[in-house]
């Protein structure tokens, strides 16, 4: 497929318009407070005021302009287009302003390679920022999210809301675990932004007795992982299983059962009655104990 030159053309036009615009300079927070008195009151004593003053002093900038950019053009022509408002700008630009301070250390350093950045989700879509008062009044880092998990995540991940409504599920709606216990929302190198490279490592943080290592392992657990048999968010089957009946789940791999395993008899229809250590055993090769 031939690549189109339109994005490059737009970039050139944008660069030309930017070059023609007057050079913006910093005017100081006192100039901002002349019009934005209410915002200045909200900001006083907040964590962002302290951080903005510290970073501004290092860069020769003032507090407000550390986030909103140079304000000279905006002071002369009070238009939303002459300042960074965190509402009109694309997600990448909004996040870029936040990452100028918050992107220097983990976990935010990998945000741009994560699924949220690729999906054009900006920092202030999840963190307090769209509501101007809540952002400027922020007093503690623990208050940054716009809502509690998992309800906050449900706004985009609607399929997960349905999963957590199923009969067998992880207790996220009750608040016993959070989405961020398993996933790194700010991006990383792992599939599905999991906190560990392997699914087993993520599950093993809570299910330590299932992780091993075992002397006699269940091969599928080591080769394919927990998701071979379990659904991570919710299932209509007990224990988050992918099949309602345990025997059908086992028979997907163990189709060549011994002749005395007569599945027409009820005693052989539930494999875990005998094979009680299905995740692994240190005593029995057939996982019987």
pLDDT tens digits along 253-272? 888 888 888 888 888 888 88
pLDDT above 80: residue 63: no
pLDDT above 80: residue 62: no
Query: Rounded mean pLDDT of the chain?
Result: 84
Of the spans 7-21, 33-47, 135-149, 215-229, which averages the highest pLDDT? Answer: 33-47
pLDDT value at residue 74: 93
Of the spans 2-6, 159-163, 207-211, which averages the highest pLDDT? Answer: 159-163
pLDDT average, residue stretch 73-92: 91
Q: Could you report how far apart the first and last alpha carbons of the chain are, in Å?
A: 58
Give the residue extent of every domain in the chain. Answer: 24-144, 212-281
pLDDT band per the 50, 70, 90 thresholds, residue 49: confident
Closest-CA residue to 134 (of 52, 41, 42):
42
pLDDT band per the 50, 70, 90 thresholds, residue 61: low
Distances in whole angstroms, Cα of residue 273 to Cα of each of 8, 270, 284, 288: 65, 6, 15, 9
Q: Are 237 and 163 in contact (CB under 8 A)?
A: no
pLDDT average, residue stretch 132-155: 84
The structure tokens listed for 6 are: 């339109």
pLDDT average, residue stretch 45-52: 81
pLDDT above 80: residue 30: yes
At 195-232, the pLDDT tens digits run 988 888 899 999 988 888 899 988 876 767 899 899 99
Q: How far is CA 112 from the centre of its chain?
A: 12
């Amino acid at each position: 497929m031939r690549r189109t030159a339109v994005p490059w053309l737009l970039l050139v036009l944008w660069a030309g318009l930017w070059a023609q615009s007057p050079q913006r300079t910093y005017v100081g927070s006192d100039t901002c407070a002349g019009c934005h008195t209410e915002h200045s009151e909200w900001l006083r004593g907040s964590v962002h005021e302290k951080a903005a003053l510290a970073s501004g002093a290092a860069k020769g900038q003032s507090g407000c302009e550390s986030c909103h950019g140079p304000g000279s053009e905006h002071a002369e022509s009070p238009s939303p287009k002459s300042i960074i408002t965190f509402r009109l700008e694309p997600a990448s630009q909004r996040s870029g302003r936040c990452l100028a301070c918050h992107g220097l250390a983990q976990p935010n350093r990998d945000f741009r390679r994560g699924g949220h950045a690729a999906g054009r989700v900006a920092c202030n879509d999840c963190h307090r920022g769209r509501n101007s008062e809540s952002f400027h009044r922020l007093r503690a880092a623990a208050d940054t999210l716009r809502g509690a998990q998992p309800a906050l995540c449900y706004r985009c991940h609607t399929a997960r809301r349905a999963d957590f409504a199923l009969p067998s599920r992880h207790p996220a709606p009750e608040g016993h675990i959070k989405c961020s216990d398993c996933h790194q929302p700010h991006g990383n190198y792992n599939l599905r932004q999991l906190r560990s490279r392997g699914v087993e490592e993520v599950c093993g943080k809570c299910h330590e007795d299932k992780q091993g290592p075992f002397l006699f392992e269940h091969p599928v657990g080591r080769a394919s992982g927990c998701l071979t048999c379990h659904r991570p968010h919710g299932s209509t089957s007990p224990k988050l299983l992918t099949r309602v009946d345990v025997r059908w789940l086992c028979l997907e791999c163990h189709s060549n059962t011994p002749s005395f395993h007569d599945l027409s008899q009820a005693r052989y229809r539930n494999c875990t009655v005998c094979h009680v250590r299905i995740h692994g055993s240190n005593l029995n090769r057939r996982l019987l104990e």
